[in-house]
Amino acid sequence: MSRSADMFARANAVTPGGVHSPVRAFRHVGGTPLFIRSAQGSRIEDVDGQRYTDFCMAFGPMILGHTHPAVLDAVTAAAASGWSFGTAEPCSLALSELICSRLPWVENLRFVNSGTEAVMSALRLARAATGRSLILKFDGCYHGHTDAMLIRAGSGLAGIADSAGVPPGVAADTVVAQLDDIPGLEGLFAARGSELAAAIIEPLPANHGLLPQRQEFLDALAWQCQQHGTLLIFDEVISGFRTAFGGMAEITGIRPDLVTYGKIIGGGFPVGAYAGRREIMQLVAPVGPVYQAGTLSANPVAMAAGLATLERLTDGTAYLALEDNGRLLEETLSGTPGLRLQRFGSLFWLVPEDAGSGEVIRTPAAFPAASESRFAKMFHALLAAGIYLPPSPYEAGFLSTAHSEDDIHALADAVRSSLDAR
């Protein structure tokens, strides 16, 4: 028995499903999850000593690669000075000033400990700012595991809880619309726009496949929000500081009222943030009536990691390198029979399918049903070849500045070989 298998058996005795986040359990792909003991650059190593080229990158935050020397130095220095104060401290100030000085739609921000916590706080803030209760979300977008966002589309505009333990009253306050459907969006706002406190969307949905949205759809959403006094929340936990320094807000030219961040903003440490216009953010305690607090919020070690990471992204050269890597991956896999590749910058999604329409997949309904089992076979073939992808057909892969051209070619070769052997 491998050490990973032994550890997984032990973990199942003390942890639900043997993991601390569901996708890690390999349920979508089968087999035994790997227990990783170390990582550096573009490589991870499991407890059995097997090394893999990593294209999961901790689901996105490791944009500079694992254990980047500058980030490691910043973390080491911060920890040597004390790793939790429970007070105001200078590193969170420096990180806040860096972000606010470069992103015009971020006039104030508040650090929290996760993307889920950021979304939860932003929704509470939106309700307080508007005096309304309803929240609009989109089928296929994931906003963490706060109750109000664990809702899928039901009949009409009604939301249905996607998890046990979510009360019907909570589900009733969330309405669900379809991505890439402007007429449906217009109809929803005509019917209920005056009741909507906020519309929250991943401007680049990346948790139910990578589903790039048309600029026209995002523009229509922003216009409808403006016309009906509904706050627009961009969930940029994944896309923030990855697609560009300013994320999708920068790329689309749309200024959200509120935005949520995570992942890269903490350099791989547990950090989230919600941010936006000053007059809205000033409703947050202690200056306003919207309560939110956290013992470990703006943890000095996490702030140091985030600051060191973002400082290395400010001049834009990292994004040029990431785009070069993404373009190389696209070129090497272009025309591969039985495969669809969707890419946006340094995010990519591999969809094994026999004959796609050629049109970009923009909604969950367009996902090819047979691709899940085909992805599982491809995943394990790549694992045997020393390539680690996110262990789910619905998760995007991530490139980093640590990936080399050889890494990209190795991924492409392994994908083609896995499809040939199918």
pLDDT in tens, 61-112: 999 999 999 999 999 999 999 999 999 999 999 999 999 999 999 999 999 9
Residue 143, C-beta contacts closer than 8 angstroms, at least 6 positions apart = 115, 116, 119, 137, 149, 200, 202, 235, 260
pLDDT in tens, 170-203: 778 899 999 999 999 999 999 999 999 999 999 9
**DSSP track, 175-232:** EEEETT-HHHHHHHHHHHGGGEEEEEE-SS--SSS--PPPHHHHHHHHHHHHHHTPEE
pLDDT in tens, 347-363: 999 999 876 567 899 99
Quote the CA–CA distance of 145 and 82 in Å, as a whole number: 31
Rounded CA Rg of the chain: 21
Rounded mean pLDDT of the chain? 94
Residue closest to 183 by CA, chosen among 135, 232, 217, 233: 217
Catalytic residue numbers?
A: 142, 235, 263
pLDDT in tens, 256-314: 999 999 999 999 999 999 999 999 999 999 999 999 999 999 999 999 999 999 999 99
Residue 191 CA, distance from chain mean position: 31
Residue 138, SS3? strand
pLDDT at 153: 47
How does residue 155 score in pLDDT terms, banded at 50, 70 and 90? very low
Give the residue extent of every domain in the chain. Answer: 3-67+316-420, 69-311
Residue 33, C-beta contacts closer than 8 angstroms, at least 6 positions apart = 4, 8, 18, 19, 24, 25, 26, 391
Q: Which of left, alpha, beta for 109 (phi over 0: left; psi -120 to 50: alpha)?
A: beta
pLDDT in tens, 301-323: 999 999 999 999 999 999 999 99
Share of the chain above pLDDT 90, in %: 88
Residue type, 218: L
pLDDT at 156: 42
pLDDT in tens, 21-46: 999 999 999 999 999 999 999 999 99
pLDDT at 1: 80
Per DSSP, which regions of 3-118 are E strands?
36-40, 43-46, 51-54, 108-112
Which tokens hold the place of 278? 């000053």
Q: Which of left, alpha, beta for 276 (phi over 0: left; psi -120 to 50: alpha)?
A: left
* Cβ–Cβ < 8 Å for 33, 8: yes
Quote the CA–CA distance of 248 and 236 in Å, as a whole number: 7
pLDDT at 167: 76
Q: What is the DSSP letter of 147?
A: G
Residue closest to 404 by CA, chosen among 69, 59, 65, 68: 65
Class of 69-311 per CATH?
alpha beta
pLDDT at 154: 43
Share of the chain above pLDDT 70, in %: 96
Q: Which CATH superfamily is domain 3-67+316-420 in?
A: Aspartate Aminotransferase, domain 1 (3.90.1150.10)
Give every strand in the sheet of 43-46, ordered side by side: 36-40, 43-46, 51-54, 387-388
**DSSP track, 289-317:** SB----TTTT-HHHHHHHHHHHHTTTTSH
pLDDT at 360: 94
